[in-house]
């Protein structure tokens, strides 16, 4: 029997879910992928399953991990599936960590980031025009944290740099898509409006 036959045998669908023997295989793939994660397309290719079955399978893995009392779970972050530690371990992992966590972004950096998320690619002067204040330091902070990057140059006088967000911005906020990021900034803006009213 060849490997393809073995793979197809493993995939027997039982009442809408994949056979349990696939669960540790997927967990192993996620473990090997590490912090880079692995895309749904790549999981589908490796397991020889339809891509639309990857999300339900990863959800099944997360449930299985929970039932098994695993210390990690499958989660979609920034468009890639990763193994992340379960939240109940946070207090212990925080005590273990000896490296201080980076300071939260300042209000100015968050404002600049929100503008870049909505308007990217955008120049520094356009960010400043919208904010109404200088934004050199805020943009410098975002670049240093790897949350934005240069994305070419604008046409026109001086050909200023254009900025856009990086994949790291999704990881920083623990989100899986640009749409979730936009929704988060919408909620923040609405909360600010409510406070000022």
Residues 129, 148: Cα–Cα separation, whole Å: 18
- Top-confidence residue, 186 or 82: 82
- 120 and 112 Cβ atoms separated by less than 8 Å: no
The model's confidence at residue 87, banded by pLDDT at 50, 70 and 90, is: confident
Q: Tell me the CA distances in angstroms from 194 to 34, 187, 189, one per residue in order.
A: 41, 10, 9
- Top-confidence residue, 7 or 85: 85
Residues 112, 20: Cα–Cα separation, whole Å: 47
Q: Residue 187 is encoded by which pair of tokens?
A: 């909620």
Residues 10, 118: Cα–Cα separation, whole Å: 45
The pLDDT, as a whole number, for residue 177 is: 87
- Top-confidence residue, 150 or 193: 150
Please, what are the domains in the chain? 3-96 (1.10.10.10), 107-195 (1.10.10.10)
Long-range contacts of 187-191 (CB under 8 A, 24+ apart): 188/110, 188/114, 189/114
pLDDT at 19 over 80: no
The pLDDT, as a whole number, for residue 2 is: 46
Please name every residue paired with 122 in a beta bridge, in sequence order, or none if there are none: 163
Q: What is the model's pTM? A: 0.52
Reported as a single tens digit per residue, the pLDDT across 104-148 is 888 899 999 999 999 999 999 999 999 999 999 999 999 999 999
Reported as a single tens digit per residue, the pLDDT across 166-187 is 988 888 888 888 888 888 888 8
């Amino acid at each position: 029997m060849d490997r393809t036959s073995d793979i197809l045998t493993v995939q027997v669908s039982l009442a809408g879910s994949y056979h349990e023997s696939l669960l540790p295989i997927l967990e192993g793939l996620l473990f090997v992928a590490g912090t880079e994660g692995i895309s749904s397309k790549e999981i589908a290719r490796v397991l020889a399953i339809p891509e639309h079955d990857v999300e339900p399978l990863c959800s099944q893995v997360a449930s299985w991990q929970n039932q098994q009392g695993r210390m990690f779970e499958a989660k979609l972050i920034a468009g890639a599936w990763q193994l992340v530690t379960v939240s109940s371990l946070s207090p212990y992992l925080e005590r273990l960590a000896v490296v201080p966590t980076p300071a939260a972004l300042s209000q100015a950096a968050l404002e600049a980031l929100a503008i870049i998320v909505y308007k990217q690619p955008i120049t520094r002067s356009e960010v400043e025009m919208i904010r109404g204040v200088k934004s050199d330091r805020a943009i410098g902070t975002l670049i240093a944290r790897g949350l934005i990057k240069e994305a070419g140059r604008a046409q026109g006088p001086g050909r200023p740099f254009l900025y856009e967000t990086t994949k790291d911005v999704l990881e920083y906020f623990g989100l899986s898509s640009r749409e979730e990021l936009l929704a988060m900034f919408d909620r923040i803006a609405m909360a600010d409006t409510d406070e000022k009213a």
